[in-house]
Structure formats: C-alpha cells, structure tokens
C-alpha cells in the first residue's frame, strides 16, 4: 500500500501554501448560497457569527460559476490586513481602549462583535483553502485544482501557492518564502506543504485527531537579531505617559531595517537589566513592534550605563509623577509640548469635541506655525488667520471655524473625555458628568466623593483629582469656559433619563465597560437593572461568553444589544 501511495504522491506532487495567521472559519453553502458560518477551534456557531461573516467582502453570499456540491463546507482563514489593523488600533488608542497585540487578535475580536456593522467597519478579509462535500462531490482531483475552483466560485485564494514534484524541492523553497512573508500585506506565520492528490488525503489520514498526515506545516520562528543599544529615549504620549524606547544601531530583521524598539516601562528595563551600550537581542514578528528580548551580559565591557527615568519631563521640564502601583511615570502638565499634538487631535476626535477637519496634518500645521499653542486657542481662530497658512483654501478655513464653533455646544462628558485625563475614557467621562452635572462641581469634588461613584474608584479618582490640582490644567479649563465651551451635562434625571422606566439585564463580559460601570450608567439614565431575564425585560446587554441569560432572551424574544448600542442609548439627545 505504501509503495502505491508513494508513486501516486509523486505523480501529482506537492503544493506549498502560505500559512495565514488569522481566525479559522467554516462556511456552509447549500445550492451555492451561504447558509451558516462558524469559527473553528472554539466552535462558535450561530446567527451572530454568520451575520458577521456575511459582512466580509471575500465571503460570497452566492457562488459564481458552477460545479459545486449541493451542500458543502468551505474552510478559510479570516484575517485583518496590516493597514486595517493599524487603523483599528489608532482608533482604539484615541478612544482610550486597549489596543490589539496583533492582527490575529484583532480579527478574532471583530468576529465576536454583536453588531455586524462594527465587524464591517473592521475591513476583514478571508482566504479560502479547503472544501468538504456534505452532499454531492467535488470534481477537483488535486489540491491545486481545488484552489482554482474556489477562485472561480468567487473566493479569494492566496496567490503564492506553488507546485513541486518532490518533497525535497518543496522544502527547498522555504528559505525563499521566509524572505517573502515580511513583505506581505497581512500576517503569515509559516508555510504548509500539502500532498497535491486529494484522493490520498483520506488514505493518509490524520494523526492524533488533529494534524493531517498529508499536510506538513512549518512555522517560522520570529527572527531575532543582535545589535547595539545606543540610547534609551522617552516619548511623551497624549496622557503624559513617559514611554521609554531603545535607540538601536540599525539592524535588518526579516527584511526590514529596525532602528528602535519598545521597552514598555522602567520596571521591565530593570527586570531585564537592560543597560545603555548593551548588545541586545531584538525580536520582530510580523507587524508587531520590535522588542528588546534581553541583553547579552557576556559581551559587556564595563562601559554600559544603567538607565534612570528622568525626574523632569524631557519635553517641558515639569516634574514627573509616578502613581502608586503603576509602572509608568507621567508628565502632569496638560500644556506640555510633547503631549500637545496628540492632545489636540484627541480633543477634536469624534467622541470628544468632534471638530471635523482637524486631524494630525492640520493640527501639526497649526502648532508648527504657532497659530495655536493649545486647544483653548482653537476658539479664537479666524478665517483670515487660516487662509494666511499654506494649503488652506477659503472654503476649508470657513468649514473648520464653523466646526470649532459648533463644538462649543458639546456636553461636559465629551469635553472631559477630550481633555485626555488619564484613565478617563468615554465611559468614565459620562459617569463623572452625570454625577456632578457641571465642571465646577466636579473640580470642587474631593477624592472621597469621586471614589463613591461605582466604576470610578481608586486610580481613576486619583487621576481626576491630580489633573484638576495642576494649576495649568485649571487655567486651561477656565480659558475654555471663557471661550464659551459648554461646561455642563444636559440634565438626565432618573425620571426623564434616556432609559426611564426600562428594565435591562447584563450578561457576559462587555468589551470596555465593567459590570458596575454598565449598571451605574443604566441606573443613572433612569433604567432598572434586573438580575434575570423575563418577559418584562426590555433588553439584554450581552458581551463575550454570554450564557443562559442570552439563550433565555432569545427564547422569549427579548431584544439583545451590545455595549456600543447601550452607549448610544445612554447618550442624551442633543
């Protein structure tokens, strides 16, 4: 039997394929139409995931061409291209949400959304690579033919596949593919060599219930390089966080020249005993930011220096703060030049003051030309001042001034979020604004008072008090007030709140809100929070790993919403 298999394998040869690092999915087609989709591995199936998969451009809802089995399962890998990944993370950073570590996590996160319109905005893609006929049969005799068929039916198939006569030839191409992978627009983590003859797949079988014998996967270890760490510098982020990074002697890692690597925080630098002047190992995997793995202690010559975080901000010379229990140090000065660009862009972002037309490019131009020094200066800008700048037409100047004027009327919660106080994301801003009603009463509140608000305890309360303790921050707020920026939150009393008289139930883990934050927000808006689902429940807010309550809601026909929809309903009509 083995001798025959060997001969047949030789006839059709082998196929090499790029191994995409995404989320494995399977799609069921009946009579050429998509009926259900599921994620593999964790086996999540159901309406929500099917609805999300339908938003992906590479998932055909109806197949083109002909010759497909009456019922079949198509396997594919859903992935997020690097470009979309960068955009999603930039948005999350702006919103104060935790960023995704890699495109695979981002793709899996996008598939788990309860609102398909969010999944659609994440711009996922999919490569199809296998078919299993449930009813009928697939005409392709070889894996290469099958991939061609998938392409004709309307699927996207990865284009770097190649056929080889012998396994040795297939394996010999791996170094070439290793240099190709870093240049791809998506994350790939290796190569799979497959036996081309499909009929042999069943015969060769599966080992241990998982790895098929006819496919040989080779995962690339992320490439490590050794170079000199020339210096450790500090980048000041929007919230004032001082982020140390390594300035490296330029080194090539998987086809890319790396000059800097993240060092996260001073504790990690001390823990790894990384010193300035050290030879270090640097790792880079796909789009993930290069990281310093460890110093090569053997290569030290005594000239290395230990790193000390500066006591004063490298951008504005204000004394930096280190909060208890936190690894980061912060510059507390809201007018810090290092923070200012990021903060202007954040201030103008959609969930803050929503000033359309004020992105990075414009903000940088206004700051570089000293047209503005901080966000309060925006409110005195004139059309004449703007048209005097390069690349500013009369019309766009007029639009920007109008957008800035419009932003004066945003609620206090938008302004609080826009100020970029550390730990104060959209939710905390809303909780604070609802509780205090005005900037004046929030600024007058002490730590104990802020600490009593569910979902705003501990480090958050400390950060809020510290922010308003800083003289320059108080001055900035005063100037905004003088410029006519609204300092109040529209009254949403329990009786007249946006959820007045409604009963809500929470289940599962929400993407950003904690249980107590969500509950507080619902109650502040006049809603009632119940522990179990009944016919009298108005809506169930479901997050990840929602269980029995979600099933019960579906059975009773109770509306199920996600966190984003809850936040929309909490927003006061303006």
CB 331 within 8 A of CB 315: yes
In whole angstroms, give the CA distance from residue 136 to residue 211.
26
Q: Which is nearer to Zn ion, 150 or 320 (CB)?
A: 320
Q: Which is nearer to Zn ion, 268 or 316 (CB)?
A: 316
Q: Which is nearer to Zn ion, 315 or 424 (CB)?
A: 315
Q: Which is nearer to Zn ion, 217 or 316 (CB)?
A: 316
CB of 317 to Zn ion, least distance (A): 7
CB of 316 to Zn ion, least distance (A): 3
Contacts of 386 (CB under 8 A, 6+ apart): 371, 392, 396, 397, 400, 401
Residue found by looking up tokens 């703007």 in the block: 386
CB of 333 to Zn ion, least distance (A): 5
Q: Which is nearer to Zn ion, 314 or 454 (CB)?
A: 314
With vertex at residue 110, the alpha carbon angle to CA 105 and CA 113, rounded to the nearest 5 degrees, is 125
CB 30 within 8 A of CB 133: no
Q: Which is nearer to Zn ion, 142 or 265 (CB)?
A: 265
226 SS3 class: strand
Contacts of 433 (CB under 8 A, 6+ apart): 411, 412, 413, 416, 442, 489
- Structure-token pair, residue 402: 């109008």
151 SS3 class: helix
CB 369 within 8 A of CB 324: no
Q: Which is nearer to Zn ion, 333 or 414 (CB)?
A: 333
Which residues lie near Zn ion (CB under 5 A)? Answer: 313, 315-316, 318, 331, 333, 336
Q: Which helix (H) or strand (E) holds 482?
A: helix 471-482
CB of 187 to Zn ion, least distance (A): 35
Read out DSSP for 37-59?
A: EEESSS--BSHHHHHHHTT-TTS
CB 454 within 8 A of CB 523: no
Contacts of 355 (CB under 8 A, 6+ apart): 347, 348, 378, 400, 403, 404, 406, 407
Which is it for strands 162-164 and 211-212: parallel, antiparallel or unpaired? unpaired
CB 561 within 8 A of CB 553: no
| Residues with catalytic function | 19
Beta bridge partners, 45, equal 38
Burial of 469 (0-12, 13-18, 19+ CB in 10 A): exposed
Contacts of 22 (CB under 8 A, 6+ apart): 77, 78, 79, 80, 103, 104, 107, 126, 186, 187
Q: How far is CA 317 from the centre of its chain?
A: 33
Number of separate helices (H) and strands (E) present in the chain: 23, 23
Q: Which is nearer to Zn ion, 331 or 442 (CB)?
A: 331
CB of 469 to Zn ion, least distance (A): 16
- Select from 534, 491, 544, 488 the least CA-distant residue to 513: 544
CB of 473 to Zn ion, least distance (A): 12
CB of 260 to Zn ion, least distance (A): 20
CB of 240 to Zn ion, least distance (A): 7
Q: Which is nearer to Zn ion, 110 or 313 (CB)?
A: 313
């Amino acid at each position: 039997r083995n001798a025959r298999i060997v001969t047949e394998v030789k006839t059709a040869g082998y196929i090499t394929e790029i191994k995409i690092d995404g989320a494995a999915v399977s799609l069921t087609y009946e009579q050429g139409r998509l009926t259900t989709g599921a994620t593999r591995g964790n086996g999540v199936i159901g309406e929500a995931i099917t609805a999300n998969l339908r938003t992906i451009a590479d998932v055909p809802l109806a197949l083109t061409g002909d010759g497909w089995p009456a019922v079949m399962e198509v396997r594919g890998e859903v992935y997020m291209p690097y470009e979309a990944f960068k955009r999603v993370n930039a948005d999350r950073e702006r919103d104060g949400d935790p960023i995704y570590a890699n495109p695979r996590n981002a793709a899996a996160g996008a598939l788990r959304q309860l609102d398909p319109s969010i999944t659609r905005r994440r711009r996922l893609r999919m490569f199809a690579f296998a078919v299993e006929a449930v009813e009928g049969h697939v005409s392709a005799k070889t894996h290469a033919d099958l991939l061609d068929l998938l392409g004709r039916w309307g699927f996207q198939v990865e284009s770097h596949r190649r056929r080889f006569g012998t396994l040795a030839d297939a394996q010999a191409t791996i170094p070439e593919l290793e240099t190709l992978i870093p240049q791809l627009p998506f994350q790939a983590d290796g190569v799979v060599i497959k036996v081309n003859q499909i009929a042999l797949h069943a015969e060769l079988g599966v080992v241990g219930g998982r790895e098929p014998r006819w496919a040989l996967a080779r995962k690339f270890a992320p490439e490590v390089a050794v170079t000199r760490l020339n210096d450790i510098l500090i980048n000041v982020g929007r919230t004032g966080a001082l982020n140390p990074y390594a300035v490296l002697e330029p080194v090539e890692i998987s086809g890319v020249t790396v000059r800097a690597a993240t060092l996260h925080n001073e504790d990690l630098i001390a823990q790894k005993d990384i010193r300035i002047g050290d030879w270090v190992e640097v790792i880079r995997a796909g789009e993930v930011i290069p990281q310093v793995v460890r110093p090569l202690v053997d290569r030290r010559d005594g000239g290395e220096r230990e790193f000390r975080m500066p006591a004063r901000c490298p951008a504005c010379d204000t004394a930096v703060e280190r909060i208890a229990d936190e690894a980061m140090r912060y510059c507390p000065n809201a007018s810090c030049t290092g923070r200012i660009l990021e903060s202007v862009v954040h201030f103008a972002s959609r969930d803050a003051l929503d000033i359309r037309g004020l992105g990075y490019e414009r903000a940088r131009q206004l700051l570089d030309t000293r047209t503005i020094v901080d966000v309060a200066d925006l409110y005195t800008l004139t059309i004449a001042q703007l048209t005097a700048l390069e690349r500013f037409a009369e019309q766009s100047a007029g639009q920007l001034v109008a957008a800035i004027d419009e932003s004066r009327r945003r609620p206090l919660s938008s302004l609080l979020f826009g100020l970029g106080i550390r730990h104060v994301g959209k939710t905390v801003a809303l909780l604070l604004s609802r509780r205090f009603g005005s900037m004046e009463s929030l600024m007058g509140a002490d730590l104990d008072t802020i600490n009593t608000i569910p979902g705003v305890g501990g480090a958050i309360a400390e950060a809020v008090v510290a922010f308003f303790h800083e003289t320059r921050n108080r001055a900035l707020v005063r100037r905004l007030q003088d410029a006519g920026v609204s300092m109040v939150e529209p009254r949403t009393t329990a009786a007249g709140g946006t959820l007045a008289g409604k009963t809500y139930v929470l289940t599962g883990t929400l993407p950003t809100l904690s249980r107590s934050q969500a509950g507080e927000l619902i109650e502040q808006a006049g809603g009632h929070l119940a522990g179990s689902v009944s016919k009298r429940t108005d809506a169930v807010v479901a997050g990840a790993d929602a269980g029995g309550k979600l099933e019960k809601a579906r059975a009773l026909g109770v509306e199920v919403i996600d966190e984003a929809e809850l936040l929309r309903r909490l927003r006061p009509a303006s």
